[in-house]
Structure 1
Amino acid sequence: MEQKYIVALEIGSSHIRAAVGVVDESGVLTILAVEDENAINVVRYGWIQNVEEVSNRINKLIKKLENYQSISPRKIKSVYVSIGGRSTMATSRQIVRHFDDGVDITDKIIQQIKDEARQMVVSDRKVIEVLPREFAVDNLDCPNPVGTVGRNIKAEINLVTCKPVIGYSNIQRAVTERQQLNIKGEIVRQSAIADLVLTSDEKKLGCMLVDFGAETTTVSMYKNGTLRYFETLPLGSRNITRDIMSLNHTEENAEQLKKVLGDVVNVEPNYRKHDFDGDATEVNNYVRARAGEIIVNIIEQPKYAGYKISSDLPGGIIIVGAGAKLKGFTDQLASQSGLNVRLGNIPGTIRISDPKLQSLDFIDVIALLNAAARRNPQECTEVPVQVNVTYDYDDSYDEDDDDEPGPRPIKGKEKKEKKEKKPKVEEKREPKGPSKLSQWKDRLATMLFNEADENDE
């Protein structure tokens, strides 16, 4: 596989991020650049509210990325986009196939089952991704059915869907219609993050992935290596910020107070009040109350999936998202759930050109690049064609021509033809007689000649 440049676009509730990576011949991904723009109030709960504003921010991101030395002079023409937020959900479907005789279960049969599942109508929702949960061949559980022989196969399928208008159509309006960017593929945000930060052992044992964002918290559960549950809660770290605003702070100041003073475990941390524009105790009363509500909602989700949190999820909780950086949140989540909790991180198999991109803030868009790199990546950039300009030197000059003589650029077939000089036509004139000077010379010569003759006589 030749080296390819791929571009990812992640539209979240608080930020819009874009990233460029390069996939080499061996399939290794290198992150070249990441840029972000604020999305507060133009994106709500992962839904695009203001198409024009989002489009303008995407335009800024693309220009920033194209100016990177590692990317220039390439121009970005296509992107991979993520689908997430409150619009997304997973729905389980079952497909059964019977065969007259025992047949080899092949990749083609499994793909046909996935295609059939994709065609299933899910209450006016768009199917984004088809994720098999489990298979059974002749009523025997078979995690990997390809290569087995049987007379019937049963598949449990998860269909990840979104609402067509707010979850998908507005993305097309902002990206394709206004920015003329081709969408190479749509990738479910939560699946991309899971593939990046979860280990195979965690997926097999059973674990919970929590994406604690600005306005939503998405919880997904894995068991026996596959996705079993997926839900997006309309709660996020911005709810804590809005609570702090009730202390007569702007949202910007409240956000800063949350980051500096916020502590989920200690209500009265050891801060000097005069160092900050706010009372730590009052701030943390709000922080602790709202964070506690979010934690309760997270640890309730296994019940809806049919799991016991204490025994069915030994792989623990893996948490990502900007909200996960709130001081004391992971400790409190571990205490109330009784599970081990760790922060998601970027594996060493991905090369990152700038160490600052290792931040937890960029996991979402890097996960999207990683997912694209693993799915037969398509080139997203192109190098502009250089227009060669040649010169034709015209040393002729015509008084009737307004152009100055000299070099004139010629572009393609637009070569300016030289003016042909018309031959000058000689005017016919009547022959003129001898001039007066010639007449005087002749008379003088005659006089001298006559005088010489007289002398001779």
Structure 2
Amino acid sequence: MATTEFIAAIELSSSKISGIAGKKNGDGSMQVLAYAREDATSFIHKGVIYNIDKTAQALTSIINKLESQLNNSIAKVYVGISGQSLRTVKNTVSRVLEEEGIISQELVDAICDENLEIPLIDMSVLDVAPQEYRIDNNYQADPVGVAGKRITGNFLNIVARASLKKNLEHSFEQAKVEIADLVIAPTALAKAVLTESEMRSGCALIDFGADTTTIQVYKNNILRFLSVLPLGGNNITRDITSLHMEETEAEILKQKYGDLLYKEEESETPAVCLLEDGRSIEINALNNIIEARAEEIIANVWNLLQLSGYEDKLLAGIILTGGGANLKNMETVFHKRCKIDKVKTARFIHNSIYGFNDVLKKDGMQNTLLGLLAAGNENCCLQEVKPTPAANVTPSKSVDMFEDDEALKEQEVAARAAKAQREKEEKERRERERKEKERREKEEKKKKKKEGPNWFEKAFVRISNEIFSESDDIK
């Protein structure tokens, strides 16, 4: 049976493109109805799309797989945006009133609009996380209705390179997939994984991805800091390949034998693991490589937490998620390196998610995708207007089937309006294509006229002149 109401979301990460569809139940839980994924290692690096054609092909495949499982068409999808260049930038905007008065919504809106005019070089503002407003000497989360003479708005702008959003939109446009909304993937993950108490008390969410590690800091239920570190689990895997093996085998060894606090047992022969080609590698040597790169990543994360200015205000501690968080003893090493008492791993999203548990909830690697699904609020099913069946009427008398049914009348009007709109759009499209064709032909003629005759025409004229010139000499 076809599913007619669902939310669809797509995550584009460094290792894969994942698609999901599900519906929200009345009790707040969510039922996952479809899931699909495609490998993205060859055309997405550190969250940035480098090959639009291959990305579009993968998106088309994802949509086809989801539609097959849903037995229905997808009209639009929610899309997560992230990447190496994603970060937060602080900005303040102040206004001084002529005399003390009540802060209005219009004034707050004007301050918010001015914040968006912040000058950025090769960057664009993707979203804004409003901080507290300072009215005279007092701080207010909601300034509307408060009396004062001077108001200062503190803003945290989430920015990224302009090409990040541009390439993403071009990929979906080429795949002919409509975007319902662009969602900041890290913040969607935080809303799904963190509790209200953790966000209020102060916490840092560390998402260990394949090529990047994302750091977010929350305090008083407000995002205070966001930055993306260009290091992730794949860096550890590539380091292991220095032991002369392929990345796929290195990833398996990392997951099976990786231990950040590995200690060799006292024995005459060291513990070893066997490779596919029959060679043996000491587990101690393997973990020395893993530990070195993991220590580097953790040290950089701690530096960014110190840069945020909230390293001593994290009462709820550090919450780890993502595939890299599955390394054995990651919590202990984080605790030792950062001197923070509370460190835990949030492997699963809220327990109100049902369906595909073996794929989505086993290691926390799909938490961002589930967060994007939870962020959606519009039906993504393609709604088709079906013709209303004709009523049985006697031939001797013409009956208006819409006479006593207002709902049917509205459906008929909507169907006619939709048809007229489609015909109008199709006519406009053909007219644009005609004008574009004429424009290209004119430009081509101008170009040929400006360039003059090509080499073949010049050669033909030169040879013809020589032939006729020789004929005149003979005469």
On whether the aligned pair clears a TM of 0.5, the verdict is yes
- Given that residues 263 and 269 in structure 1 are in contact (C-alpha distance below 8 angstroms), is that contact kept between their aligned partners in structure 2? no
Amino acid at match of 2:324: G
Q: Deviations 1:67-108 (Å, cap 9, x if unpaired)?
A: 11xx21x21121111111102111111012333455544555
- Does the C-alpha gap of structure 1 residues 66 and 244 become closer, same or farther in structure 2, counting only changes over 3 Å? same
Shift of 1:147: 4.3
**DSSP 3-state at the match of 1:145:** coil
**DSSP 3-state at the match of 2:366:** helix
| Separation in structure 2 between the aligned mates of residue 107 and residue 365 of structure 1, nearest angstrom | 35
Q: Which runs of 4+ in 1 moved over 6 A?
A: 385-388
- Does the C-alpha gap of structure 1 residues 122 and 65 become closer, same or farther in structure 2, counting only changes over 3 Å? same
Q: Deviations 1:243-282 (Å, cap 9, x if unpaired)?
A: 0101110111111111111111115489963555552122
- Does the C-alpha gap of structure 1 residues 347 and 257 become closer, same or farther in structure 2, counting only changes over 3 Å? closer
State the aligned residue count: 377
Match of 2:194 in 1: 198
Structure ID, larger Rg: 1
Shift of 1:237: 0.7
| Separation in structure 2 between the aligned mates of residue 317 and residue 300 of structure 1, nearest angstrom | 14
Q: What are the ranges of 5 or more consecutive residues in structure 1 without an aligned counterpart?
A: 389-457
- Given that residues 319 and 346 in structure 2 are in contact (C-alpha distance below 8 angstroms), is that contact kept between their aligned partners in structure 1? yes
Match of 2:302 in 1: 299
Shift of 1:151: 3.0
Amino acid at match of 2:197: D
Amino acid at match of 2:345: L
Whichever structure has more helix as a proportion of its residues is 2
Match of 1:273 in 2: 272
| Separation in structure 2 between the aligned mates of residue 142 and residue 240 of structure 1, nearest angstrom | 45
Q: Deviations 1:308-367 (Å, cap 9, x if unpaired)?
A: x3x322211111111111122222112221221112255547432332222301101111
Match of 1:227 in 2: 223
**DSSP 3-state at the match of 1:180:** coil
Is structure 2 residue 159 aligned with structure 1 residue 171? no
- Does the C-alpha gap of structure 1 residues 118 and 30 become closer, same or farther in structure 2, counting only changes over 3 Å? farther
- Does the C-alpha gap of structure 1 residues 64 and 150 become closer, same or farther in structure 2, counting only changes over 3 Å? same
- Does the C-alpha gap of structure 1 residues 63 and 370 become closer, same or farther in structure 2, counting only changes over 3 Å? same
| Separation in structure 2 between the aligned mates of residue 12 and residue 261 of structure 1, nearest angstrom | 25
Match of 1:344 in 2: 346
Match of 1:133 in 2: 131
- Given that residues 19 and 33 in structure 1 are in contact (C-alpha distance below 8 angstroms), is that contact kept between their aligned partners in structure 2? yes
- Given that residues 135 and 154 in structure 1 are in contact (C-alpha distance below 8 angstroms), is that contact kept between their aligned partners in structure 2? yes
Q: Deviations 1:368-403 (Å, cap 9, x if unpaired)?
A: 12223xxxx333221556799xxxxxxxxxxxxxxx
- Does the C-alpha gap of structure 1 residues 6 and 110 become closer, same or farther in structure 2, counting only changes over 3 Å? farther
Match of 1:362 in 2: 366
| Separation in structure 2 between the aligned mates of residue 288 and residue 155 of structure 1, nearest angstrom | 44
Counterparts of 1:16-415 in structure 2, within 5 Å, are: 16-23=17-24, 29-68=30-69, 71-72=70-71, 74-105=72-103, 109-165=107-163, 167-176=164-173, 178-268=174-264, 273=272, 277=276, 278-279=280-281, 280-307=283-310, 309=311, 311-339=312-340, 340-346=342-348, 348=350, 350-356=352-358, 357-359=360-362, 360-372=364-376, 377-383=377-383
Amino acid at match of 1:91: V
- Given that residues 76 and 381 in structure 1 are in contact (C-alpha distance below 8 angstroms), is that contact kept between their aligned partners in structure 2? yes
- Does the C-alpha gap of structure 1 residues 127 and 259 become closer, same or farther in structure 2, counting only changes over 3 Å? same
Match of 1:439 in 2: none
Amino acid at match of 1:319: L
| Separation in structure 2 between the aligned mates of residue 213 and residue 98 of structure 1, nearest angstrom | 45
Amino acid at match of 1:169: K
Shift of 1:50: 1.6
Q: What are the ranges of 5 or more consecutive residues in structure 2 without an aligned counterpart?
A: 389-475
**DSSP 3-state at the match of 1:122:** coil
Across the aligned residues of Structure 1 and Structure 2, the Cα RMSD in angstroms comes to 2.7
Amino acid at match of 1:326: L
- Given that residues 51 and 173 in structure 1 are in contact (C-alpha distance below 8 angstroms), is that contact kept between their aligned partners in structure 2? yes
Amino acid at match of 2:217: M
Shift of 1:66: 0.9
- Given that residues 130 and 154 in structure 2 are in contact (C-alpha distance below 8 angstroms), is that contact kept between their aligned partners in structure 1? yes
**DSSP 3-state at the match of 2:243:** coil
**DSSP 3-state at the match of 1:312:** coil
Amino acid at match of 2:63: I
Match of 1:416 in 2: none
- Given that residues 212 and 228 in structure 2 are in contact (C-alpha distance below 8 angstroms), is that contact kept between their aligned partners in structure 1? yes
Q: Deviations 1:416-450 (Å, cap 9, x if unpaired)?
A: xxxxxxxxxxxxxxxxxxxxxxxxxxxxxxxxxxx
- Given that residues 330 and 341 in structure 1 are in contact (C-alpha distance below 8 angstroms), is that contact kept between their aligned partners in structure 2? yes
**DSSP 3-state at the match of 2:217:** strand
**DSSP 3-state at the match of 2:113:** helix
| Separation in structure 1 between the aligned mates of residue 352 and residue 107 of structure 2, nearest angstrom | 33
| Separation in structure 2 between the aligned mates of residue 371 and residue 137 of structure 1, nearest angstrom | 32
Match of 2:12 in 1: 11
Q: Deviations 1:101-123 (Å, cap 9, x if unpaired)?
A: 55544555544433332232322
Shift of 1:210: 0.8
- Given that residues 264 and 271 in structure 2 are in contact (C-alpha distance below 8 angstroms), is that contact kept between their aligned partners in structure 1? no
- Given that residues 114 and 130 in structure 1 are in contact (C-alpha distance below 8 angstroms), is that contact kept between their aligned partners in structure 2? no
Shift of 1:143: 2.7
- Does the C-alpha gap of structure 1 residues 112 and 183 become closer, same or farther in structure 2, counting only changes over 3 Å? farther
- Given that residues 105 and 144 in structure 2 are in contact (C-alpha distance below 8 angstroms), is that contact kept between their aligned partners in structure 1? yes
| Separation in structure 2 between the aligned mates of residue 274 and residue 216 of structure 1, nearest angstrom | 28
| Separation in structure 2 between the aligned mates of residue 381 and residue 100 of structure 1, nearest angstrom | 53
Match of 1:401 in 2: none
Amino acid at match of 1:195: K
- Does the C-alpha gap of structure 1 residues 147 and 18 become closer, same or farther in structure 2, counting only changes over 3 Å? farther
- Given that residues 215 and 235 in structure 1 are in contact (C-alpha distance below 8 angstroms), is that contact kept between their aligned partners in structure 2? yes
| Separation in structure 2 between the aligned mates of residue 116 and residue 45 of structure 1, nearest angstrom | 32
**DSSP 3-state at the match of 2:118:** coil
- Given that residues 129 and 155 in structure 2 are in contact (C-alpha distance below 8 angstroms), is that contact kept between their aligned partners in structure 1? yes
- Given that residues 128 and 161 in structure 1 are in contact (C-alpha distance below 8 angstroms), is that contact kept between their aligned partners in structure 2? yes
**DSSP 3-state at the match of 1:121:** coil
| Separation in structure 1 between the aligned mates of residue 45 and residue 378 of structure 2, nearest angstrom | 30
- Given that residues 352 and 358 in structure 1 are in contact (C-alpha distance below 8 angstroms), is that contact kept between their aligned partners in structure 2? no
Match of 1:443 in 2: none
